[in-house]
């Protein structure tokens, strides 16, 4: 995802890549990574000492909170595509951004098909009282459930305004999946997938399935670019790309 973001910035006429940060590297020569000699390479947050407008983050769940906090504290607009932060951490970052009147975004997914799927699911949730989520990702994805699945469940819950009723099932092997306010989430981690999700709504005598499939991570860059243009004009931190499209 980092490579995709670099390519997107370099191909944009009105953007300039000024720096990259990776705490796991020792070589700070931009040429070693095929980058322009004017691009600064950092491996310590405390050594970043230059003017930066936007911080694009596709890192890891263990690092993203401190990265985003650093960006906001230094008046850099954060565009965060890393999932795994808790609701408490997200709320803390929102409050910090408010004190700075700084625009930014934390999005579980920058793919337009995934974001529209979430919006459609939120509409359907007003008419169906029961639903489950199945999300499928590549085997190397660290967190489960995915941020997209969790945000989808959150939007469904918000649309209903109450917990989903639970059937009285026995499940000694815990096959019913995770639980978010009664909404079951099933996470698959297998080679062959990039990122797929489906939401299944059940009603009397009918079901409704809303699904999306990502076959190339390049698709996420459309949403990232759209988000950058939007959030530099805002004075608060947005949670979810669906809030600005």
DSSP string, 94-125: HHHHHHHT--EEE-S---HHHHHHHHHHHHHT
Catalytic residue, from 77, 136, 137, 184: name it. 137
Selecting among 4, 69, 119, 141, the annotated active-site residue is: 141
CA dist list (Å): 151 to 30, 40, 113, 141, 156: 36, 35, 14, 17, 9
233 is catalytic: no
Q: Among residues 222, 210, 197, which one has the least CA distance to residue 111?
A: 222
* 119 among known catalytic residues: no
Residue 12 CB contacts under 8 Å (≥ 6 apart), including other chains: 225
Given its phi and psi angles, is residue 37 left (phi above 0), alpha (psi -120 to 50 degrees) or beta? Answer: alpha
How does DSSP classify residue 78?
A: E
**Catalytic annotation, residues:** 137, 141
């Amino acid at each position: 995802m980092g490579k995709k973001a670099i390519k997107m910035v370099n191909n944009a006429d009105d953007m300039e890549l000024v720096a990259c940060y990776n705490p796991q590297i020792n070589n700070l020569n931009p040429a070693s990574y095929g980058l322009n000699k004017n691009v600064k390479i950092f491996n310590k947050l405390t050594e970043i000492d230059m003017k930066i407008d936007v911080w694009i983050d596709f890192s890891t769940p263990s690092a993203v909170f401190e990265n985003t906090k650093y960006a906001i504290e230094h008046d850099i607009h954060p565009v965060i595509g890393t999932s795994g932060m808790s609701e408490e951490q997200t709320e803390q970052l929102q409050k910090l951004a408010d004190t700075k009147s700084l625009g930014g975004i934390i999005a579980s997914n920058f793919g337009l098909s995934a974001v529209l799927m979430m919006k459609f699911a939120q509409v359907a949730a007003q008419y169906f009282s029961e639903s489950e989520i199945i999300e499928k990702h590549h085997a190397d994805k660290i967190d489960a459930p995915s941020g997209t699945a969790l945000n989808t469940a959150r939007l469904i819950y918000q649309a209903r305004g109450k917990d989903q009723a639970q059937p009285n099932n026995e499940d000694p092997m815990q096959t019913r999946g995770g639980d978010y306010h009664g909404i079951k989430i099933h996470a698959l981690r297998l080679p062959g997938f990039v990122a797929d999700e489906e939401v299944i709504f059940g009603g009397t005598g009918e079901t409704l399935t809303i699904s999306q499939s990502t076959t190339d991570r390049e698709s996420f860059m459309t949403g990232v670019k759209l988000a950058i243009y939007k959030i530099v004009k805002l004075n608060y931190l947005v949670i979810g790309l669906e809030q600005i499209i």
